[in-house]
Amino acid sequence: MLASVYMRNKVILWFTALALIQTPLVITATETVKEGYALVESITITTKGENALNKRPQPKLKTKQGSLFSQTDFDEDLRNLSKDYDKVEPSVDFANGKTIISLVLVAKPSIRHIHVVGNNVVPEYKITKTLQVYENDLFCREKFLKNIDDLRIYYLKRGYFDSQITYELDHNENRGYIDITIKIYEGPCGKIKKLELRGLKRSEKADVKELILTKQYSKTTSWFTGSGLYHPDIVEQDAFTITNYLHNLGYADATVTPKREVDKSGNITLCMDVNKGPLYTLGHVHIEGLDLLPKRLVEKQLSAGPNDIYCPNNIWDGAQKIKDIYSKYGYINTNIDVVFSPHARQPVYDVTYQISEGSPYKVGLIKITGNTHTKHDVILHESSLFPGDTFNRLKLEDTEQRLRNTGYFQSVSVYTVRSQLDPLNSSEQYRDIFIEVKETTTGNLGLFLGFSSLDNLFGGIELSESNFHLLGIHELFSKGPKCLRGGGEYLFLKANFGDKVTDYTVKWTKPHFLNTPWILGVELDKSINKALSKEYSVETYGGNVSTTYILNQKLKYGLHYRGSQTSLHKKKKLQTGPDPETNKGFVSAAGVNLNYDSVNNPRNPTTGIRGGISFEVSGLGGSYHFTKLSINSSIYRKLTRKGVLKIKGEAQFLKPFNNTSKDGIPISERFFLGGETTVRGYKPFLIGPKFSPTEPKGGLSSLLLTEEFQYPLITQPSVSAFVFLDSGFVGLKEYTIRLKDLCSSAGFGLRFDVMNNVPVMLGFGWPFRPTEMFNNEKIDVSQRFFFALGGVF
């Protein structure tokens, strides 16, 4: 009895459970099918257009027959199929908790024929190469459409501004092939034979030609620079540029109308017709809404006043300066509106600056995001603002710029948000600072090979990491190489192998050492120098430790200690030349330096001064006792709109003391001049005292004077021409410069950048004293052609 009841209950429970399981399937089949609730009953795949060239194996899908249907997996299957097939037509039916899938796949057709029609200038092989389409290859529609756009751009870059490119695709889906027809209308080649600027003064024409991108075609340079071709969009942009230029000269109603004429040869005469209109001046200049700051302080920020020529740039520059002076005192929400009021009968504008002052703010929290490698303290060291400071928008912008200048990040954004701080019993307002960064690669591995008039053929390898983390070495095996990044340190390793000079260098620099303004630097090096003579080589190895303190943006001073072992190796015993015994020993020296730098660009300065003075004492336990004084200065000034005058002077002095004599100072410490990086036009190192006609002795006093005028010829890539006047003196007397013995030269050359901004210099120099007497024998000390990486400046 009990058994029968038990069996009956078991059957009832079984049917109940089955009903509970089936119920959701029935509901979802009649309503919306939810992911994971429908079984895939069948998958039917039909392929069209297959042949021997485009046939593919049966596609593998993540969606399987008999499994639960997943919309995510099915979408991924369709994406993958669209990469392998020209067309995918899916069909999905849901009924009674089951899914029936049907896929119609059209195979990518093979290219049977390619017809190019209308091309006269660009050969067919170049067109098919740009389109990346070849007969018997599979046709990829998406790639073809992208390459069609590339072909249009190619024609435009070559100056065919009126070119038109169309195409026809004859696709036989059943047989699986496609015929492609490319129709090209090339039109005239837009070489600008003549560029006219009408309605402008001579000086204005010179300014405009520097500002606009459109240039006149030149047979000598256009083939290299790509300039001198007509591009309608660029011409329109240039018209706006000219208009803006004239507005800032006071011609507020100026208009520019581009006109072009095409001759029978297809050459273009482009004319920019300028109608300047009347010259506008300023009437009254008012400031309204000024309550918090002194009126005199605000008025000093204005760049335009009554009776000045109307110049929008100066007017808006004044508005920005007023905003900046407010932000300096914490008023970061100050808003400046500029209202222009023209006079009815005269070309005069009245200008009113309307100020909404807002309230002062202080800095709250500083939050950093996006720094996956760089440490927080490295970023905070570049911040000019700190919690509790009065807010200064200029310092906020300076922080963003300093972070960009580190080179650690692909992008940097520094902005403010409402602060989370709520100080008790305080009416002061706060703004938090958010620093968002996106990391970028900071390491560089390079191989180089070059030639110079000093070292002939040379090459080597260098490795650098500008965001190195030395203390991450102990985690190298547990976390991998990524732990060696993010410390804000600089690591540089280089091995250079040359015919005359071979050297190895390791440098490590740590900014903000121990969270102080000091910069710590360590350098190890080894050098084998055969450039001074064919008869001997000078070998040195050692290192130095330096500390630098940045006083302000332009001035810094430092301390250093260096130690190096020096030795001299002769190929054979000769009576002439340096003594190997006096050139074998250890140099132990400490020094101090002061440097000033106000140039506007660290790599290619056009204005500013760069100079320094250093003093060093050797004899701290080493083999040699001497002092070394070095004074140098470089001045950069713009003489013309693009031309830069560079003047450099450098004086160096050695003075032995104690048991070290003049002849006892090693060759590796002496001064040498001559060659492509000092006095061009002379043989390397051969200015001054000599052991023999080809072996310099070096000096204890030296003076280098250089003047150079550089003028850029091409911007991209950077190519500049220069003329120069060099002078140099090397002598054996302590602290003695004999100006009458200066060796001078003059010449010209080219300087250009290659291989990731590596400067290359070549040219000719003519020495004023190409020969001199040595032991009653006339010797030639000239070397007119020079070629080198780097340069004098």
- Please indicate, yes or no, whether residues 270 and 301 belong to a single structural domain of this protein: no
Q: Which spans in 253-366 are helix H?
A: 295-299, 312-328
580 in a domain, yes or no? Answer: yes
pLDDT exceeds cutoff 80 at 336 = yes
Q: What are the residues whose beta carbons fall under 8 Å from the beta carbon of 273, sequence distance 6 or more?
A: 198, 199, 256, 257, 258, 259
Residue 116: both structure tokens together: 């190019």
Q: Average pLDDT for residues 343-353, to the nearest whole number? A: 94
d(CA 411, CA 395): 18
494 in a domain, yes or no? Answer: no
Could you report the per-residue pLDDT of 736-775, keeping only the tens digit for each? 999 999 999 999 999 987 765 677 899 999 999 999 988 8
d(CA 332, CA 325): 10
483 in a domain, yes or no? Answer: no
d(CA 538, CA 565): 11
Band of residue 30 on the pLDDT scale cut at 50, 70, 90: very low
Reference 731, options 719, 717, 741; nearest CA is 741
- Please indicate, yes or no, whether residues 253 and 399 belong to a single structural domain of this protein: no
720 in a domain, yes or no? Answer: yes
Q: Which residue has the tokens 């100026």?
A: 254
Question: Which of 419, 439, 459 represents a domain boundary (last residue)?
Answer: 439
Q: Average pLDDT for residues 602-622, to the nearest whole number? A: 93
Torsion of CA 229, 234, 240, 246, to 10 degrees: -30
457 in a domain, yes or no? Answer: no
Q: How many domains does the chain have?
A: 7
- Please indicate, yes or no, whether residues 615 and 584 belong to a single structural domain of this protein: yes
Model-wide pTM > 0.75: no
Q: Average pLDDT for residues 650-660, to the nearest whole number? A: 96
Q: What are the residues whose beta carbons fall under 8 Å from the beta carbon of 692, sequence distance 6 or more?
A: 576, 577, 774
pLDDT exceeds cutoff 90 at 348 = yes
- Please indicate, yes or no, whether residues 403 and 546 belong to a single structural domain of this protein: no
Share of residues in the chain with pLDDT > 70 (%): 93
Least confident of 102-106, 622-626, 739-743, 757-761: 757-761
Q: Which spans in 448-508 are helix H?
A: 476-479
Question: Which of 339, 356, 373 represents a domain boundary (last residue)?
Answer: 356
Q: At 615, which amino acid appears? A: F
- Please indicate, yes or no, whether residues 254 and 243 belong to a single structural domain of this protein: yes
Band of residue 175 on the pLDDT scale cut at 50, 70, 90: confident
CATH number at 45 reads 3.10.20
Type and span of the H or E element at 14: helix 2-30
Q: Torsions phi, psi of 29, nearest 5? A: -70, -35
User: Which residues are bridge partners to 187 per DSSP?
Assistant: none
CATH number at 693 reads 2.40.160.50
CATH number at 208 reads 3.10.20.310
Cβ pair 477, 459 in contact under 8 A: no
**Helix, strand, coil distribution of the chain in percent, nearest 5:** 20, 45, 35
Residue 574 has a pLDDT of: 65
C-alpha separations of 763 from 354, 577, 677, 716 in Å: 58, 32, 12, 21
d(CA 520, CA 547): 5
Could you report the per-residue pLDDT of 704-734, keeping only the tens digit for each? 999 999 999 887 778 899 999 999 999 999 9
d(CA 622, CA 237): 67
- Please indicate, yes or no, whether residues 563 and 656 belong to a single structural domain of this protein: yes
- Please indicate, yes or no, whether residues 559 and 706 belong to a single structural domain of this protein: yes
Question: Which of 291, 324, 356 represents a domain boundary (last residue)?
Answer: 356
Residue 23 has a pLDDT of: 31
- Please indicate, yes or no, whether residues 172 and 207 belong to a single structural domain of this protein: no
Residue 513 has a pLDDT of: 93
pLDDT exceeds cutoff 70 at 255 = yes
570 in a domain, yes or no? Answer: yes
Strand, coil or helix: 773? strand
d(CA 618, CA 628): 8
445 in a domain, yes or no? Answer: no
Reference 664, options 742, 755, 582, 743; nearest CA is 582
Q: Which spans in 338-421 are helix H?
A: 376-380, 393-406
Higher-confidence residue: 652 or 390? 652
- Please indicate, yes or no, whether residues 703 and 749 belong to a single structural domain of this protein: yes
- Please indicate, yes or no, whether residues 599 and 518 belong to a single structural domain of this protein: yes
Q: How remote is the C-alpha of 450 from its chain's centroid?
A: 23
Q: Average pLDDT for residues 469-474, to the nearest whole number? A: 91
- Please indicate, yes or no, whether residues 229 and 299 belong to a single structural domain of this protein: no
**What domain range is 13 assigned to?**
1-29
pLDDT exceeds cutoff 90 at 32 = no
Could you report the per-residue pLDDT of 211-244, keeping only the tens digit for each? 999 998 888 777 777 788 888 889 999 999 999 9
- Please indicate, yes or no, whether residues 319 and 373 belong to a single structural domain of this protein: no
pLDDT exceeds cutoff 80 at 21 = no
Largest CA distance in the chain: 141
How many residues are there in the chain? Answer: 793
196 in a domain, yes or no? Answer: yes
Band of residue 1 on the pLDDT scale cut at 50, 70, 90: very low
Strand, coil or helix: 428? coil
Reference 466, options 508, 438, 525; nearest CA is 508
d(CA 416, CA 409): 20
